[in-house]
Amino acid sequence: MTQVDIVNAMSDAEGAAKVTALFERTYGTKPAGVWAAPGRVNLIGEHTDYNGGLCLPIALPHRTYIALSPRTDTQVRVVSDINENDVQTADLNGLEAGGIDGWAAYPVGVAWALREAGHDVQGFDAAFSTCVPFGSGLSSSAAMTCSTALALDGAYDLGFGATDAGRITLINAAITSENDMAGASTGGLDQSASMRCTPDHAIRLDFRPGLTAEESAQQEAFDLSNHGPELLVLDTRAPHQLNDGQYAQRRATCEEAAELLGADNLREVADLVNAQADPATALEGVLERLDDDTMRKRVRHVITEIGRVDDFIEAFAEGDMQTAGDLFNASHDSLRDDYEVTVPELDIAVDVARDEGALGARMTGGGFGGSIIALVNQGESQRIAQCIADEFERRGFNAPRALPAYAAQSAHRVQ
């Protein structure tokens, strides 16, 4: 059997050296600076962000690096080390939503979104390098848009990047770029994680509308070295699925359900249900008011998943790793059976991890491919990743890859 691939994170020094050299080769000058933004792993709270719910991500040590210089005109040039002969160009002047094709839409869209929001940003030259695997459900897109947003903030002295509350403006530009320029639906979890996480902490993000920056995020200690288990992150490399229509469909069903239930969003319903002495019965009562089976399943996922976030935080804080693992399992099963966003690769990887003694395992991110995470006993990550890789080989799936993971820092200036 083939040995499982490990995707190690680049250090800031390596990332900076790579993008600086690429920038100099491409544009013939030195960049004004180098910035980085991480991918993320969502521990629990999936498909809840666009329902006004709760999520609990950590920032990965895997980051996207950007070397950038501002320009005095509105031209943009971007290049990445995936194909350094392919320099993409755009003009911010007169640019409209959806006006850029391909990957350049992500960084160009950030500058466009900042300008649309009234900020004084002109064109730029930039070079990218990343170790966040693409299409892995680990937010390579957010790593790109957030690194660009922070770089533009620095290069144009906007002053938002310096504070957590200020970063919300940059997060919004990143989200607008992804939704409106790149045409990729996203709810805010990924960009908030990339911009607001702190080392050794998971961040409890609360997407209830109308909260202040301070109310919307709480840092929760997540230092695994205190507790024993390890976090295995494994990118299944399931073939890319056309998931965007599916994501939009899930979202529309949730919005319709909230309206039928007379609520602004499913979070309101979840709060009512979870405040009852017997939430399970209260949930049944809510579901009886909906007559579409699929809609009932979607709502059951969202409401139970929102409840699992605080249950996980509590179990983890108490060092009750078995309960924490059970909550991972319940989350995955709900995403598989009720939300129906898993694929065979995700389900098999989770099953193998559980069979091999993981305390719990679940898919992470939007689904339809991408990664799983598992809470495993100390020293077991590599062995369990290998077991999953062996099973994938037997089944003729793509070879998966594992990522060493811990709660790392959010987007920052490197040089």
Contacting positions for ligand GLA (CB under 6 A): 42, 46-47, 49-50, 186-190, 365-366
Give the CA distances from residue 182 to residues 96, 106, 174, 193, 380, in Å, rounded to whole numbers and listed in that order: 11, 6, 11, 20, 39
Q: Which of 368, 334, 371 is nearest to 350 (CA)?
A: 371
Residue 283, SS3? helix
Distance CA 402, CA 233 (A): 6
52 vs 154 by CB, closer to ligand GLA: 52
Q: How many CA atoms lie within 13 A of 132 on its CB side?
A: 29
Q: Name the minimum Å distance from CB 392 to ligand GLA.
A: 23
Backbone φ and ψ of 45, nearest 5°:
95, 65
Q: Name the minimum Å distance from CB 231 to ligand GLA.
A: 17
129 vs 186 by CB, closer to ligand GLA: 186
Residue 23 C-alpha from the chain's centroid: 27
Question: How do strand 401-404 and strand 5-6 relate by DSSP bridges?
Answer: parallel
Residue 164, SS3? coil
Q: Name the minimum Å distance from CB 74 to ligand GLA.
A: 29
- Catalytic-labelled residue, pool 125, 190, 206, 338: 190
Q: Name the minimum Å distance from CB 226 to ligand GLA.
A: 27
26 vs 42 by CB, closer to ligand GLA: 42
Residue 43 C-alpha from the chain's centroid: 10
Q: Given its phi and psi angles, is residue 241 left (phi above 0), alpha (psi -120 to 50 degrees) or beta?
A: beta
DSSP state of 401: E
221 vs 248 by CB, closer to ligand GLA: 248
Distance CA 96, CA 112 (A): 8
20 vs 253 by CB, closer to ligand GLA: 253
Q: Name the minimum Å distance from CB 190 to ligand GLA.
A: 5
Please name every residue paired with 362 in a beta bridge, in sequence order, or none if there are none: 373
151 vs 306 by CB, closer to ligand GLA: 306
Backbone φ and ψ of 25, nearest 5°:
-65, -40
Asked if 56 contacts 103 with a C-beta cutoff of 8 angstroms, the reply is no
Q: Name the minimum Å distance from CB 247 to ligand GLA.
A: 7
Asked if 328 contacts 10 with a C-beta cutoff of 8 angstroms, the reply is no
As a whole number of Å, the CA-based R_g of the chain is 21
Q: Name the minimum Å distance from CB 336 to ligand GLA.
A: 14
287 vs 309 by CB, closer to ligand GLA: 309
| Residue 190 known to be catalytic | yes
Catalytic residue ranges: 190
